[in-house]
């Protein structure tokens, strides 16, 4: 499984900690981890001068756009993301078709969400409750999340019904949400351009399997570069 890590500006300084625990848990299981997150700003202060065109101030709203592009294009199979509380990222990701994100505070959250709801993204709080032992909790979360096949059901005997409901949720989102590219074209173009940071693009282009989505990203990147 290909797993992308995304984070917004407020938690960019923790990217290295989160990435280390994700890789140490997931890679020995045979999963591939991509760090598609924004880098730490140039200053510890949240001021305009701390950000650049190549490393803009991404919020949880950008995370939803990035996740939708990565997952719907087939560039990755799963997204790990979050924000200060994890709630903003959760809401942002779940607006888009093809993305089903769960909220995860501790390991059983991750395990039960993936076994019962069979989603493709997790949102974690990277500030709230992030104290002593936070890295241990992250490692345990990722171990439980990726240590067994998804969609096996819980408790035993509920797999068929739970998988049916999980599949229906994906279909319902297709019906109630705009098609992805139509939705993205209706957004502020500047916000979409800001999502096209180098780490994200490296991950997207390496694995993208959808030519229509790729063409859209190509146009956004060209426009951002003034071409």
- The rounded distance, in Å, linking the Cα atoms of 31 and 5 is 13
Query: Cβ atoms within 10 A of the Cβ of 10, count?
Result: 17
- Sheet of strand 2-5: strand arrangement: 32-35, 2-5, 78-83, 121-125, 101-103
With 90 as the cut, is the pLDDT of residue 227 above it?
no
Question: What is the count of structural domains for the chain?
Answer: 1
- In degrees rounded to 5, what are phi and psi of residue 45? -95, 140
Cis peptide before 158 (omega within 30 of 0): no
> Which residues constitute the domain of residue 207?
2-224
Tens-digit pLDDT profile for residues 79-97: 999 999 999 999 999 999 9
CA contacts within 13 A on the Cβ side of 124: 30
Tens-digit pLDDT profile for residues 32-50: 999 999 988 878 778 878 8
Q: Give the orientation angle of helix 15-26 with respect to helix 134-146, to 10 degrees.
A: 40
Tens-digit pLDDT profile for residues 107-144: 999 999 999 999 999 999 999 999 999 999 999 999 99
- The rounded distance, in Å, linking the Cα atoms of 92 and 35 is 19
The CATH number of whichever domain residue 114 belongs to comes to 3.40.1400.10
9's tokens:
């500006």
Average pLDDT for the chain: 95
- The rounded distance, in Å, linking the Cα atoms of 148 and 139 is 15
The pTM of the full predicted model, rounded to 2 decimals, is: 0.96
Instruction: Classify the phi-psi angles of 24: left when phi > 0, otherwise alpha if psi is within -120 to 50, otherwise beta.
Output: alpha
CB 49, CB 43: distance < 8 Å: yes
**pLDDT at site 226:** 80
């Amino acid at each position: 499984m290909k797993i992308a890590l995304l984070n917004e500006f407020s938690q960019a300084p923790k990217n290295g900690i989160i990435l280390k625990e994700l890789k140490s848990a997931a890679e020995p299981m045979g999963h591939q981890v991509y760090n598609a997150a924004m880098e730490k700003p140039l200053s510890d202060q949240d001021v305009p001068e701390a950000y650049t065109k190549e490393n803009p101030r991404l919020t949880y709203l950008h995370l939803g756009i990035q996740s939708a592009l990565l997952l719907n294009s087939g560039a990755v199979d799963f997204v790990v993301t979050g924000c200060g509380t994890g709630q903003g990222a959760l809401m942002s990701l779940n607006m888009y078709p093809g993305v089903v994100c769960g909220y995860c505070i501790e390991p059983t959250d991750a395990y039960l969400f993936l076994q019962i709801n069979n989603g493709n993204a997790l949102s974690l709080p990277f500030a709230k409750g992030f104290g002593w032992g936070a890295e241990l909790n992250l490692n345990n979360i990722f171990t439980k999340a990726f240590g067994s096949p998804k969609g096996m059901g819980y408790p035993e005997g509920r797999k068929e019904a739970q998988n049916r409901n999980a599949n229906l949720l994906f279909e319902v989102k297709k019906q109630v949400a705009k098609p992805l590219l139509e939705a993205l074209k209706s957004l502020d173009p500047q916000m979409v351009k800001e999502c096209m940071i180098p780490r994200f693009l490296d991950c997207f282009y390496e694995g993208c399997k959808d030519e229509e989505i790729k063409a859209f990203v190509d146009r956004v990147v060209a426009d951002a570069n003034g071409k």
